[in-house]
Structure 1
Amino acid sequence: MTSRWIDITSTTGETYTGYLSLPPTGKGPGLVLIQEIWGVNEHIRTVADQYAADGFVVLAPDVFWRQSPRIELKYDDVDTPKAFGHMQALDQPAAVKDLVGAVNTLKALPEVTGKIATVGYCMGGRLSYLTAANSPDVAAGVAYYPGAINTVMDQAATLTAPVQFHFGGLDTYITHAVREAVIDTLGDRDETEIYVYENADHGFNCWGRAMYNQNAALLAHGRTLQFLAEHLA
Structure 2
Amino acid sequence: MGEFKQLTAADGHTFNAYQASPEGEPIGAILLLQEIFGVNAHIRSVADGYAKEGYLVLAPAMFDRIERNVDLSYEPEDMQKAFALYAPLMQLTPDATLLDVAATYAELKKAGKGIAVIGFCWGGLMTWLTATRGETVQVQPSCCVGYYAGGIGNYATEEPSCPVMLHFGAEDTHIGSDQIEAVRAAHPEVEIYVYEGAGHAFNRDVHPASYSPAAAALAKERTLAFLKANIS
Same fold by TM (over 0.5)? yes
Q: CA deviation at 1:93?
A: 2.4
CA distance in 2, matches of 1:23, 1:93: 31
The 2-side partners of 1:83 and 1:178 are apart by 23
Q: Does 2:101 correspond to 1:96?
A: no
Q: Hey, what does 2:20 align to over in structure 1?
A: 21
Indicate yes or no: 2:166 matched with 1:162.
no
The Cα of 1:26 is off from its aligned counterpart by 4.6
The alpha carbon displacement at 1:182 in A equals 0.9
Q: Secondary structure at the match of 2:62?
A: coil
SS of structure 1 residue aligned to 2:158: helix
Question: Structure 2-normalised TM-score?
Answer: 0.92
Find the residue that maps to 2:32 and give its secondary structure.
Answer: strand
In the alignment, what sits opposite 1:146?
149
Q: Tell me the distance in 2 between the aligned counterparts of 1:51 and 1:27.
A: 11
Distance 2:84 2:184 in 1: 30
1:70-126 deviation per Cα after TM superposition (whole angstroms, max 9, x unaligned): 210110110111111222211132112211221112112xxx231101000000100
Name the residue aligned to 2:82.
Answer: 83
- For 2:124, give the aligned amino acid: G
Indicate conservation of the 8 Å contact 1:117/1:228, yes or no: yes
- Aligned partners of 1:8 and 1:102 also within 8 Å: yes
Counterpart of 1:97 in structure 2: which amino acid?
A: L
Runs of at least 5 residues in structure 1 that lack an aligned partner in the other structure: none
Instruction: Indicate the larger mover: 113-122 or 220-229.
Output: 113-122
The CA distance in 2 between the partners of 1:199 and 1:116, in whole Å, is 31
Question: In the TM superposition, what is the alpha-carbon distance from 1:23 to its structure 2 partner?
Answer: 0.6
- Partners of 1:106 and 1:12 lie apart in 2 by 19
Task: Normalising by structure 1, report the TM-score.
Answer: 0.92
Question: 2:181 corresponds to which residue?
Answer: 180
Which of structure 1's runs of 4+ aligned residues deviate more than 6 A? none
Distance 1:155 1:105 in 2: 26
Query: Number of aligned pairs?
Result: 224
Amino acid at match of 1:36: E
2:200 paired residue among 199, 202, 206: 202
Matches for 1:209-220 after TM superposition, within 5 Å: 209=207, 210-220=209-219
1-structure distance, mates of 2:131, 2:5: 22
Any unmatched runs of 5+ in structure 2?
none
State how far apart, in whole Å, the 1-side matches of 2:186 and 2:81 are.
Answer: 33
**CA–CA distance in structure 2, aligned partners of residues 101 and 185 of structure 1:** 30
Mapped partners of 1:28, 1:86: distance in 2:
36
Q: 1:126 matched to which residue of 2? A: 125
Once superposed, what is the RMSD of the aligned Cα atoms? 1.3
Aligned AA (1:176): S
Identify which range, 121-130 or 84-93, moves more after superposition: 84-93
Give how far 1:167 is off. Answer: 0.5
